[in-house]
Amino acid sequence: MPLHKLTIATAMAATLALGACNEKGGNTAPKSEAAKEAAGDSTIAAGLGDATKFAAAAKSTGLDATLAGPGPYTVLVPTDAAFDKLPAGALDTLMKDEGRQELTGILTYHILPGAVLAEDINKAIEAGKGKALLATMAGGTLTATKEGDAIVISDGAGTKAKILGGDEKRSNGVIHRIDAVMMPS
């Protein structure tokens, strides 16, 4: 875009934005404070801990804002070791501009609506005679089963992930750590 057009358009946008403020009585303070308050202080985003690769992927896709928002969500967080099971360079590629949309779909496959504790999954597996479907934000479902005492989550292609450490309650949901990355299909 030629520079002068960019300048004009930017000025227009600024004017319109200003107009919006005036429309609302000139209040230019951030309006999403309600969302921050609802999310609380100890959010999922703040509780990712040593899951550095998942945290980096969330930041790359802008989903860090989701995980710091009101939710509530249940997040299956693959450990760094889980990401290391992917082919060499795969995550790096997904985090480039060209892979970002793809990565967004993968991460949202790990996010479930509401707050689901391990106990809730166990009950659903029991009621479902050995398995339970879990709705994800991405649209597809995951399948939960038991292997001994452990809860195992499977993606559409049959890749299995074990819940390693579950029930990390956060102010906007809950984190369960898993040992494999789920891939949508």
Partner 1 sequence: MLKWMLAAGAAALAISAPVAAQKGHGGGKEHGQEMKGQKGGGQKANRGNRGGGNDGAMRGPQRSEKQKFVQRDDHRGQGQIKQADRGKGNAKVNLGRPGHAMGRDDRDVRVVRLDRHDDGVRFVPRFNDRAMGLIEGCPPGLAKKGNGCMPPGLAKKVVGTPLTAALGLSALSGPYRSWYRDNDDFMYRWDDDYIYRVRRDGGLIDALFPYANRDYYYYPMGMSYPLDYNYYNVPYQYQSFYPDGGDYWYRYGDGAIYRVNPSTGLISGISALLTGNSFAVGQPLPAGYGMYNVPFGYRDRYYDTPDAWYRYNDGYIYRVDPTTQLVTAVINALV
The one among 41, 52, 81, 101 contacting partner 1 by CB under 8 A: 101
Q: Which amino acid type is present at position 178?
A: I
Binding status of residue 97 toward partner 1 by CB under 8 A: yes
To partner 1, the closest distance from the beta carbon of 33 in angstroms equals: 9
Assess contact for 63 and 103: CB atoms under 8 A: no
| Cα–Cα distance measured from residue 122 to residue 19, given in angstroms and rounded to the nearest whole number | 53
Considering only residues 105 through 164, tell me which ones interact with partner 1, judged by CB under 8 A: 105-106, 108-109, 111-116, 120-121, 123-124, 127-128, 132-141, 144, 156-157, 159
* Closest distance of CB 164 from partner 1, Å: 19
Look-up of token digits 């309006």: 31
Q: Which 77-96 positions form the footprint of partner 1 (CB under 8 A)?
A: 85-90, 93-94, 96
| In the complex, least distance from residue 150 CB atom to partner 1, rounded to whole angstroms | 16
Residue 44 binds partner 1 (CB under 8 A): no
42 forms part of the interface with partner 1 (CB under 8 A): no
Q: Considering the complex, what minimum distance in angstroms separates the CB of residue 77 from partner 1? A: 15
Q: CA-to-CA distance for 69 and 32, rounded, in angstroms?
A: 10
160 φ, ψ (degrees, to nearest 5): -110, 145
Taking the complex as a whole, the smallest distance from the CB of residue 52 to partner 1 amounts, in Å, to 19
In order of 78, 93, 183, the CA distances from 97 in angstroms are 22, 9, 19
- Work out the number of other CB atoms within 10 angstroms of the CB of residue 153: 23
